[in-house]
Structure 1
Amino acid sequence: MSSKVPRIETERLILRRMSFDDWPDYVSMLASKRSAHMGGPYDAEGAWAMFCRDAAQWDFFSVGALMIDEKSTGHCVGQVGINFGPPFPEYELGWLVYPDAEGKGYAFEAATALSDWAFNARGLPTLVSYIAPENDRSLVLANRLGAVLDQNAARPDPDDLVFRHPKG
């Protein structure tokens, strides 16, 4: 199954296809302690595997990762994506922002836009977020997005909390 990767614009952001130009900031983020709630830190080989998976999911499942650019500067501030495939029991909405972009509402804006696309354009029946219990910032964001804890949902990591997102 092949899919056209969407380009989604919000008031402040452009969500766009990944490019190799995104690799240096991506690998730096995944090598840092900030990736601990995503199974990291990762070495370059592990980060490369995730980078390629994020991009390849578009061809396999018509979902995947989009990079988040500030409209005003063109600066990439992070990534938002919908993961699916063998490691994921359900379609998972995930996000990461680079350190200099924290606290500006970019993850909320990007996740809202991508979940709207997922439900309305892609027609997904449901979205969840798998979140490590100690990942306070993502727990707050999931709640802000209106997601509700689903104690009975399957999860890739038995310690993860699963938040189910409402159809917008």
Structure 2
Amino acid sequence: MSPPSRGGKVLGKMTTLHTARLTLRPLMPGDSEAYAAMRFHPGVARWLPPLAVDRAEAVRNTIARFEAGWRERGYAPWGVFRDDRLIGHGGLNFVPEFGETEVLWALHPDAWGHGFATEMARAALVYGFETLGLDLIFAMTLPDNLPSQAVMKRLGLTYRRRVQYKGFDDIVWFDRDRAGWMQRHAVIPSAARDL
């Protein structure tokens, strides 16, 4: 599969974004230790699918999977950095089981309650809808993860259904389509701007 293109520009390179308070950049092998401390923190791990391999291998596999996403589709989750400190991961992730792209986030508990998940996810949605031209972006979480569901609602995503995924029998699914996003944010498609 070739990287997506938009307006003749191939989007297969790893992209870094900056928000008001965060830097979103692809994870690198040098981030492994900080990433493991976040990913395997008990407060974070309880919300994520269990991993069947040891920590070091899981981190290597995750970074390699994200790197492959950038290469193959032009997007993947970023490392989320605040003042040069890795506080989590988040961004866009293609989920083959559903044939759609998810916006996801996982932040170290020290970073909870500051609006970082909303800030990161909003930047990811802008990138997905306005730069990549994705038609639908969804988010999912466990039914009792009310803080993540609140983020989904703040982002304008709507609850649609329950699904099974990676060993979890009951996952809530929220989504937003591109047309609804563009209308809500009064975005004029680039083709119309060029007229």
User: Cα RMSD between the aligned structures?
Assistant: 2.1
Q: Match of 1:52?
A: 64
Q: TM-score, normalised by structure 2?
A: 0.75
Q: Percent identity, aligned pairs only?
A: 26
* Runs of 5+ unmatched residues, structure 2: 4-11, 186-195
| Partner Cα separation in structure 2 for residue 67 and residue 143 of structure 1 | 23
Are the aligned partners of 1:31 and 1:40 in contact in 2 as well (CA < 8 Å)?
A: no
Larger displacement relative to structure 2 (121-130 or 15-24): 15-24
How many pairs were matched up? 165
* Runs of 5+ unmatched residues, structure 1: none
Q: TM-score, normalised by structure 1?
A: 0.86
Q: Match of 2:190?
A: none
Q: What is the one-letter code of the residue matched to 1:22?
A: D
Larger radius of gyration: 2
Q: Match of 1:13?
A: 22
Q: Match of 1:37?
A: 47
Q: Match of 1:98?
A: 108
State the Cα deviation string for residues 29-70 of structure 1 (Å, max 9, x = none).
Answer: 232322122113663133432232122211122210111222
| Partner Cα separation in structure 2 for residue 49 and residue 159 of structure 1 | 26
| Partner Cα separation in structure 1 for residue 46 and residue 59 of structure 2 | 13
Q: Match of 1:61?
A: 73
C-alpha deviation, 1:5, in angstroms: 1.7
Q: Match of 1:162?
A: 173
| Partner Cα separation in structure 2 for residue 160 and residue 129 of structure 1 | 10
Are the aligned partners of 2:29 and 2:63 in contact in 1 as well (CA < 8 Å)?
A: no
Cα gap change, 1:47 to 1:18, in 2 (>3 Å): closer
Are the aligned partners of 2:88 and 2:108 in contact in 1 as well (CA < 8 Å)?
A: yes
